[in-house]
Every structure is written in C-alpha cells, then in structure tokens.
Amino acid sequence: MNCREFERRWQELLDERQRPEADAELVGHTLSCPACREVLQTQQLLTTTLAQKAIEPPPELADRVVEQWLRERTRSASLASRRAGSAWAPRWRPWMSSAVAVLLVVGVTLLVFRTADSIRPELDRPAHPGMASAVPSSDAPAGQPHPPGTVDPHTVAHLAAYRQWLTSVSTHLDRMPRAPVDELTGSLRPVADSVTSALSALRRTLPIVDRDAPNRSPQAWLPPALNVT
C-alpha cells in the first residue's frame, strides 16, 4: 500500500463510520510511513475530541424560544379573531351599504310623500282665506266666461293650492332632523353619507327649492300677479 492508497482507504473507512486505526492494512502502512502514521494519529485525536466535546446550549435558550412562540401565538390568535369577525366585510360592505342606503331613501321618500298626502286635502280647501278653493266648488259656475286678459279663477286656485302643497313637502324635508338618519345608519358612515346625499338630491328635484325666490324656475312660468303664498 502506498500513501495514495492509504488515503483512499482511510477516507472510505471514515465514510463507512468505521475505525481506520483498527484496519490492519492501514496500520501496516503506517509502520513504514511516519507521515501517514501522523495522519492517522491526528484523525484519531480529532475524532476523540469531537466525541468528548460536549456543546451545551445556553440554559435560557429553551425559555426564550417558548416565550417567543407564546407571544407569536397570542398575536396571531388575536389577529385571526379580528380577521374572522370582519371576514365578510371587505367584500360585502360596499354592497350592504348601498342596499341599506337605497332602502332608507325609498323609506324616507315614502314617508315624505305620505306626510305630503296627509296635507293633500288642502287642495280641496281654499288655499287662502280670501281665496277660492283650489278645487273649484261644485256650485261655482264652471266654464263661466271671464274677462279677456285675465286668468280663469279656477286655474289660479289650482295653481295656488299646488304651490302650497309643494311648499309643505319642501318644508317637511327641510325640517326633517338629521338625527333619525344617524340613528338608522348607526356607525356606518358610508350609509349615513349616502342617505344624506340622497335626501339632498330629493330636495333639489322638488320644484320649490328656495322659498325666498319663488319665481325661479320651474315656477317662473307663474305670473307674479298670481303668486299666492
């Protein structure tokens, strides 16, 4: 056996987790080769040292790991519960908000018009003490000719009553407090904002928006002389 063969065999035995110093052939070579003998002795020393050397972890390592694990578990548990509580929210919140807003607007509109309907009989009464009823009374002479250049009193009465009705609807909307909106929508700010916007839009669509400027469109067609409030 030469030195090259010695090394190959030596590595093989170590790979197989065997003891090279117990191999007769290797030991035989070391008797005539001081260099290989020293290699074998050094390797024996290294193996023994590695086997005897006890590497102890720091005593607090396990505590540190467990504490950190507990902290992470607590944090992830709270995060998970928070996510579970609002899992549906990101996907459904916009739809839910819109649906609630639409329902509320419809409800409020119905409420407003029902209230307006309750004053509708005003149309059947004189809009003003000094005026004729908005609806021509049955004893009024229907189709009675009126002087040229004047408006038919029946038409005047109808217009006045209609105007009064519109005014009452608008007033009702104006006086409607914000509180019920907030109460109904609770903390859902998008819903509250939607309802408020919808009510404003409804208010704007009514013919009488600004009672201080009654002759503005769409009432501008009403002659000033007939403007009865």
Q: String of b and e for 20-53 (b: at least 16 CB within 10 Å)?
A: beebeebeebbeebeebbebbeeeeeeeeeeeee
Q: Does 151 bind other proteins (CB under 8 A)?
A: no
Q: Which residues are registered as beta bridge partners of 133?
A: 126
Q: Which residues are registered as beta bridge partners of 126?
A: 133
Question: Interior CA angle at 162 toward 160 and 168, to 5°?
Answer: 105
Closest CA to 216 of 178, 147, 148, 170: 170
CA distance 159 to 146: 17
Q: Does 62 bind other proteins (CB under 8 A)?
A: yes
In the complex, the smallest distance separating the C-beta of residue 70 from other proteins, rounded to whole angstroms, is 7
CA distance 26 to 216: 117
Chain positions 22 to 51 lying near other proteins, rule: CB under 8 A, are 22, 27, 30, 37-50
Let me know: does 126 contact 132? Beta carbons within 8 Å. yes
Q: Which of 3, 5, 25, 65 binds other proteins (CB under 8 A)?
A: 65
Closer by beta carbon to other proteins, 63 or else 152: 63
Q: Does 105 bind other proteins (CB under 8 A)?
A: no
In the complex, the smallest distance separating the C-beta of residue 28 from other proteins, rounded to whole angstroms, is 11
Q: Does 64 bind other proteins (CB under 8 A)?
A: yes
Size of the site for other proteins (CB under 8 A): 39
42's enclosing H/E stretch is helix 34-52
Q: Does 3 bind other proteins (CB under 8 A)?
A: no
Q: Does 68 bind other proteins (CB under 8 A)?
A: yes
Q: Does 79 bind other proteins (CB under 8 A)?
A: no
Q: Which of 55, 84, 142, 225 binds other proteins (CB under 8 A)?
A: 55
Residues composing the chain? 229
Q: Does 225 bind other proteins (CB under 8 A)?
A: no
**Residue ranges binding other proteins (CB under 8 A):** 7, 11, 14-15, 17, 21-22, 27, 30, 37-50, 52-53, 55-58, 61-62, 64-66, 68-70, 72-73
